[in-house]
Structure 1
Amino acid sequence: MKVIFRADDVGYTDVHNLGTWQAIEKGIVTACDLMLDTPGFESACKYLRNCPWITIGWHTHFWGRPVLKPSEVPSMVDDEGKFKWRKDKKALMEVDYEEALKECRAQLQRCYDWLGRLPDTCGGARGPLGDAIKKVCDENGIVYDFVGGIGYDGKEKQPAEKYRSLNIKEWIDLSGKHHKSLKVTDFPYYDPAGAIMEMPIDEDVIWMRSQHPGYLDDYVLAESSCTIPRVKDVEAYCDPKVKQWIIENKIELINTHDALYGTNQYQEHLKAINSPLWIGNMKA
């Protein structure tokens, strides 16, 4: 069985990034979804440009500030010059498509300037912003709509037709055994490592599992409803029990590029460092 372990919200802040780097260096992260407009973007790029075995996705939350001047994208920003839908998703529908298109192109140019490459994959968004994201992804060969699986609403999500044969599915634990809510009072019940190890062993599926590994600072604590679970996600991705579960089940860790194109980038990295998680060591 092959699994992609993804880190989301990469680039949130410099401090948050430190937790992500821990999950890469001492853990099982094979792919990073990077936000291109948040305070930790530049330090994230400086780190990730030295990790070619990590797939980069464009994490299209648009939680920070536009790359363009606020005066160039007035339909997208609030009075402080920040993207205006952070707390009000309905504001996404007020976005001007042409402004969104300019901002999306500017964000990708910024990514190329700092990272030295464009993202391999992309998430999405609703309304005119979502349409603009798809347009610039098509312009640049960035893959989207490639993951299926059961969503948080319990409904099955289908990828685009051209990716269905790859059978890439997101693993979301809906049992309720390992997660109650993101409230601080429910933190004792949050067990992402346990959720990972509930993943069905299925040789016909490429599973993708997403967590938010990162450390906390005042910016994240003020901004996000997801706070201390992020620290637990770092621990889960580095957990020796999870690594042993991977070894015992002979799970092949891959990045998203490997899943899409049949490459072997992440396993070659594990082989080069003689990791016990290299599939060759498991078969020995």
Structure 2
Amino acid sequence: MSKKLIVSADDFGFSEAYNYGAVKGYQEGIITVLSLMSNMEAAPHGVNLAKREVPSANLVLHTNFVHGRPVSKPEIIQSLVDKNGQFYRSFQWRGDDPSDQKCIGDIVVTAEDCYKETVAQIERFRELTGHYPNHFEGHSVINKNISAAFHQVAMEYDIHCMTEPEVETKKWHPVHEIMIGNPLFLEILNRGLSPEDFYEDRLGILDSPYEYNIIHLHPGYVDAYILDHSSLTIARCKDLQTACDPAVRQWLKDHEIELVDFSSIYK
């Protein structure tokens, strides 16, 4: 069984500087997917940039419940937004797991509100790109209510999504998220990906028993918006540098790992 690898540039649309870096990663590196945060102010810039520079790129939806303003009217998704109509940040959420170090607050979002906003962001994606995505996933946080909403949307729209457990259907191949359960996940996320992470197979690509695998990167440039609104700064630049390293692409080739996007998972 040959291994196929999807390499996603998450957070596309987060800021204009980040958009330029993500497109560079697609043009010159191993990025195969641009995952769009359709609710963000820089989303139209990202879509227009992609249409101009990489028109064949696979744009998918990076569903976002923790940054900026929602696509839905705030009054119909009250569990997700504060009194100013802004999304609650992830640290304000209550996690499913008491040991969760990210979600340490007391906000409990409902599956109904997550469903409404996911649908709204999918429809905004269509408005921006002219088509529905062939995949969607969640940004930053996932819990049982988000998973329930994602499952409902995936079946109604017939779109593949990444969630635990994965939606099972005969219409697409299962996709394995390489870093799930990997003890190095947070280390690599926070410092940024290095070429050695590939050469020493710290990601676990070679050991994966799955045919279709995915890694989520954040390859991009940093601007004032990123500095003010994200804990990932230098790591984004490191991800971009590694993604564009020719030796990394050669390592994948040497190990017969095929770079693909989400169009390849549909049967």
Q: Tell me which amino acid in the other structure corresponds to 1:113.
A: E
* Residues 21, 222 of structure 1: alpha-carbon distance in 2 compared, 3 angstrom cutoff: same
Instruction: Quote the residue 1:230 is aligned against.
Output: 236
SS at match of 2:79: helix
Kindly state the Cα deviation for residue 162 of structure 1 after the two structures are TM-superposed.
3.3
TM-score under structure 1 normalisation? 0.73
Work out the CA distance in 2 between the residues paired with 1:64 and 1:127: 22
How far the C-alpha of 1:212 sits from its partner, in A, is 0.7
What percent of counterpart residues are identical?
27
**How many residues align structurally?**
245
Which structure 2 residue ranges, 5 or more long, are not aligned?
95-104
RMSD: 3.2
Confirm or deny: 8 A CA contact 1:30 1:54 kept in the other structure.
yes
Scaled by the length of structure 2, the TM-score of the pair is: 0.77
AA aligned to 1:81 is: G
Q: Report the counterpart of residue 142 of structure 1 in structure 2.
A: 159
**Cα distance, 1:106 vs structure 2:** 2.4
**Quick one: structure 1 residues 166 and 226, their matched pair in 2 at CA, closer, same or farther if it must change by over 3 Å?**
same
What amino acid is aligned across from residue 43 of structure 1 in structure 2?
H
Q: Distance in 1 between matches of 2:165 and 2:79?
A: 32
In the TM superposition, residue 25 of structure 1 has moved relative to its aligned partner by 0.9
Q: Tell me the distance in 2 between the aligned counterparts of 1:83 and 1:8.
A: 19
Tell me, yes or no, if the aligned pair for 2:92 and 2:107 is still in contact at 8 Å. Answer: no
Q: Give the unaligned 5+ runs of structure 1.
A: 147-156, 262-284
Q: What corresponds to 2:120 in structure 1?
A: 106
User: Of 73, 81, 84, which residue of structure 2 is paired with 1:80?
Assistant: 84
Matches within 5 A, 1:34-53: 34-49=36-51, 51=54, 53=56
Structure with the bigger RCO (C-alpha within 8 Å, sep 6+) is 2
Q: Is the 1:178–1:192 Cα contact (8 Å) retained in structure 2?
A: no
Q: Which residue of structure 2 aligns with residue 245 of structure 1?
A: 251
Shift of 1:237: 0.7
1:70 alignment partner in structure 2: 74
Partner of 1:256: 262
Counterparts in 2 of 1:192 and 1:61: CA distance versus 1, 3 Å: farther
Greater fraction helix? 1
Change (3 A) 1:194 1:160: same
CA separation in 1, counterparts of 2:217 and 2:198?
10
Which whole-Å CA distance do the structure 2 matches of 1:179 and 1:98 have between them? 34
Q: Which range moved further: 198-207 or 171-180?
A: 171-180
Bigger mean CA deviation after superposition, 22-31 or 214-223? 214-223
Which AA in structure 2 matches 1:82? Q
Task: Provide closer, same or farther for how the CA distance between residues 259 and 193 of structure 1 changes in structure 2, counting only shifts above 3 A.
Answer: farther
The one-letter code of the counterpart of 1:212 is H
Comparing 245-254 with 29-38, greater Cα deviation is found at 245-254
Contact 2:150 2:161 in 1 (8 A): no
Which residue of structure 2 aligns with residue 57 of structure 1?
A: 60
Report deviation, 1:7.
Answer: 1.0
Q: Is the Cα–Cα contact under 8 Å of residues 13 and 219 in structure 1 kept in the other structure?
A: yes
